[in-house]
Chain A
Amino acid sequence: MSLLILENVTKRFGGLVAVDQVSLEIKHGEFVGIVGPNGSGKTTLFNVINGVFFPEEGRVIFEGLDITTLPPYKRAPLGIGRTFQIPRPFASATVRENVAVGAMFGTLSGKVNVDESLEIADQTIERVGLKEHRNKQAGTLTPVEKKLMEIARALAMKPKLLLMDEAMAGMHPNDIDQMVAFIKQVAEEDKIAIVAMVEHIMRAVVGMAEKVIVLHQGAKLVDAPTKEALEDPKVVEVYLGRPSEK
């Protein structure tokens, strides 16, 4: 059974079609990169998947369950975690508390108590390398640390699907390599399907994605194994806007 299926999903904002008849399929443990120019509907697609917006048309199916109109707080425990394009920490709470929230409310059983959550938080924070910042207010972290904190918060939810919006935005190339390695490791260890939106298409996508989906003006342009997708003339033209270097 597929982990996630979108069937002809359309999301409009007034007259603007932000997501246009998109169908796609994500398998368990799969690593998928989503790319597309600014405004092509990447974030909106995430919002439809995790319930921030309901689509006007189409269906969203998670592990065989139709979740098209399920509110977001009910989707999270099913196993959908997410990070945001612009980090959204619970600013006044500590890093530890932020991550504990993920464990407390985002897990399927819903029976994780406060102490257990804090324990899970400590382990997860250590994993993303934020240990020395755990008692800092999340609002005081640097942008990159906030990204890591959000990843920890999502991982503490023990997701089956992790949606990462602009996972590497604003990162130094060295950090990107580290991040790619880390995310790949997490995906394998935790058996999480990751759908990552990546801006540095070549570097990051080639580094980790098995499959690439290219969006253009809300519609799906390409959906193919990474190598194939990157060589597709349509992608080169639309996404890169210049002739391939090859």
Chain B
Amino acid sequence: MKKESTKYYPLIPVFAAYLVLFLIGRNVPGMWQLVAMLLFYCALGQAFNIFLGMTGYVDFGYVAFMGVGTYGMALAITKLAHIEGLGIAIIIIGFVMALFMATLLSLAVGAVALRLRGAYFAIATIGVNEGLRFFIEGARIWNGSEGLIFTAQLNQILGRETASTLMTFWADIMVLIIAVSAAFITLYYIRSKIGYALTALREDEDAAKVMGINVTKYKIIAFVTSACFAGLLGAASWALKTPYVFPPEVFEIHYTIEAIIIVLLGGSGTLLGPVVGGLIYGISKYYLSIFIPGFQLLIFAPIIIIIIVLFPEGVVGMLKNRFKDSALAQFII
């Protein structure tokens, strides 16, 4: 039987990576922007991994949850700005809104699409983000295609000073907190019945059913959890860092693609994988766009393909197998 404390060992490399990032960002001048971007990609990977990695289902409309999360925060701030004395509480309300909207959307999408298997699910979700974008623009809800801009409200509620540190520093810290929470939840899921059910259904859904697993229930748990983290991430990283929201920007499919790449690169379904994937992806993207601006994709795409061909289970999947019988095994899952 495992001792209680060793259960948390796999979090050590994850948190160590975040700590190092944070320290570099705070202490090396000019690095915070890169660090913030890396934190974002790690958090994105960890959030999406809970669904993509653990169930093996690909949701091409995933960015929609970040989109509605961004709107959740934006709506809270724009609608409640006139209330006196809310102060920082408005941010909390914003996060609650983001959670609420991501949950609602994921339940709606999940109830329909999670009945479908594999490729059919993937195809069914492709339109979700675009559909939502056109709905917001077409129906002119939430200010339609003009979007919501709320810099003024933030300044008014929090004061110019606080609002500015919120955008340039605290929003990134919130992303870090989201990433850390996602890591906790991932480990908890992996270690609990949920993780066993998800592994079983990812490997063979019909066999899983026959073993007594209510596969729909567990897929929905993973889907909603993953969506909630995406919603929070949208609220923190998009709404608070840049206090405006335009439909075409927050429903852009390429973030979904980035999330998929990060999860596959790092090792899908693993705890450490999305962090490794996020770092590799973020760092390569950043430096390639500095050194060979315009051509980064030309180099980048083959690199990604090579890594995925060399390590079909991702970098962490490979490490996990390599160190299976060593003392390191308990740190890498």
Chain A residues with Cβ below 8 Å from B213 are 73, 101, 105
B204 near A157 (CB under 8 angstroms)?
A: no
CA distance in complex: A170, B241 (Å): 62
A73 near B196 (CB under 8 angstroms)?
A: no
In whole Å, how far is B210's beta carbon from the nearest beta carbon of chain A? 5
B210 near A101 (CB under 8 angstroms)?
A: no
Given contacts A153-B211, A157-B211, contact A92 B196 (CB under 8 A): no
Q: Residue-by-residue, is A23-45 near B (CB-CB < 8 Å gives 1, otherwise 0)?
A: 00000000000000000000000
Could you tell me the dominant secondary structure of chain B's interface residues?
Answer: helix
Any B CB within 8 A of the CB of A106: yes
Chain B residues with Cβ below 8 Å from A106 are 211-212
CA distance in complex: A102, B211 (Å): 6
Q: Residue-by-residue, is B187-215 near A (CB-CB < 8 Å gives 1, otherwise 0)?
A: 00001110011011011101111111111
Most B CB within 10 A of own CB, among A73, A74, A82, A93: A73
Chain A residues with Cβ below 8 Å from B214 are 73
Closest to B204 in A: A88
Any B CB within 8 A of the CB of A115: yes
A93 near B210 (CB under 8 angstroms)?
A: no
B193 near A52 (CB under 8 angstroms)?
A: no
Given contacts A104-B193, A114-B196, contact A92 B212 (CB under 8 A): no
**Chain B interface bracket (under 10, 10 to 19, 20 to 34, 35 or more):** 20 to 34
Any B CB within 8 A of the CB of A71: yes
Any A CB within 8 A of the CB of B141: no
Chain B residues with Cβ below 8 Å from A71 are 209
B206 near A52 (CB under 8 angstroms)?
A: yes
Chain B residues with Cβ below 8 Å from A105 are 193, 196-197, 211-213
Q: Which of A73, A89, A90 contacts B215 (CB 8 A)?
A: A73
CA distance in complex: A90, B208 (Å): 8
Number of A-B contacts (CB under 8 A): 79
B209 near A73 (CB under 8 angstroms)?
A: yes
A88 near B207 (CB under 8 angstroms)?
A: yes
Given contacts A114-B191, A114-B193, A115-B1, contact A101 B209 (CB under 8 A): no
Given contacts A105-B197, A114-B192, contact A90 B210 (CB under 8 A): no
A72 near B209 (CB under 8 angstroms)?
A: yes
CA distance in complex: A196, B213 (Å): 23
A72 near B197 (CB under 8 angstroms)?
A: no
Q: Residue-by-residue, is A1-15 near B (CB-CB < 8 Å gives 1, otherwise 0)?
A: 000000000000000
A100 near B215 (CB under 8 angstroms)?
A: no
Given contacts A52-B206, A88-B204, A104-B193, contact A73 B199 (CB under 8 A): no
CA distance in complex: A107, B211 (Å): 9
B212 near A90 (CB under 8 angstroms)?
A: no
In whole Å, how far is A165's beta carbon from the nearest beta carbon of chain B? 11
A82 near B193 (CB under 8 angstroms)?
A: no
CA distance in complex: A183, B291 (Å): 67
Chain B residues with Cβ below 8 Å from A77 are 212
Given contacts A92-B203, A105-B197, contact A76 B211 (CB under 8 A): yes
Q: Residue-by-residue, is B204-248 near A (CB-CB < 8 Å gives 1, otherwise 0)?
A: 101111111111000000000000000000000000000000000
A90 near B199 (CB under 8 angstroms)?
A: yes
Given contacts A73-B215, A88-B204, A114-B191, contact A97 B199 (CB under 8 A): yes
Any B CB within 8 A of the CB of A238: no
Given contacts A97-B196, A104-B196, A105-B197, contact A72 B203 (CB under 8 A): no
Q: Which of B199, B206, B209, B215 contacts A93 (CB 8 A)?
A: B199
Chain B residues with Cβ below 8 Å from A226 are none
Q: Which of A50, A92, A100, A117 contacts B210 (CB 8 A)?
A: A50
Given contacts A104-B193, A114-B191, A115-B1, contact A73 B212 (CB under 8 A): yes
CA distance in complex: A106, B213 (Å): 8
CA distance in complex: A91, B207 (Å): 11
Any B CB within 8 A of the CB of A239: no
- Interface of chain B residues 52 through 101 with chain A (CB within 8 A): none
B1 near A101 (CB under 8 angstroms)?
A: no
Chain B residues with Cβ below 8 Å from A107 are 212
CA distance in complex: A100, B212 (Å): 12
CA distance in complex: A51, B200 (Å): 18
In whole Å, how far is B218's beta carbon from the nearest beta carbon of chain A? 10
Q: Which of B191, B199, B215 contacts A92 (CB 8 A)?
A: B199
- Interface of chain A residues 67 through 114 with chain B (CB within 8 A): 71-74, 76-77, 82, 84, 88-93, 97, 100-102, 104-107, 113-114
CA distance in complex: A157, B212 (Å): 9
8 nearest A-B residue pairs (beta carbon) = A76-B212, A105-B212, A90-B203, A106-B212, A88-B207, A72-B209, A105-B213, A73-B214
Binding site for B on A (CB under 8 A): 50-52, 71-74, 76-77, 82, 84, 88-93, 97, 100-102, 104-107, 113-115, 117, 153, 157
A-B contact pairs, 21 of them (CB 8 A): A50-B210, A51-B209, A72-B210, A73-B210, A73-B214, A74-B212, A84-B207, A89-B203, A90-B208, A91-B203, A93-B200, A97-B196, A101-B196, A101-B199, A101-B211, A101-B213, A106-B211, A107-B212, A114-B191, A114-B196, A117-B196
Given contacts A89-B203, A90-B203, A91-B203, 14 further A-B contacts (CB under 8 A): A50-B210, A51-B209, A52-B206, A52-B210, A84-B207, A88-B204, A90-B204, A97-B196, A100-B196, A101-B200, A104-B197, A105-B197, A105-B213, A114-B196
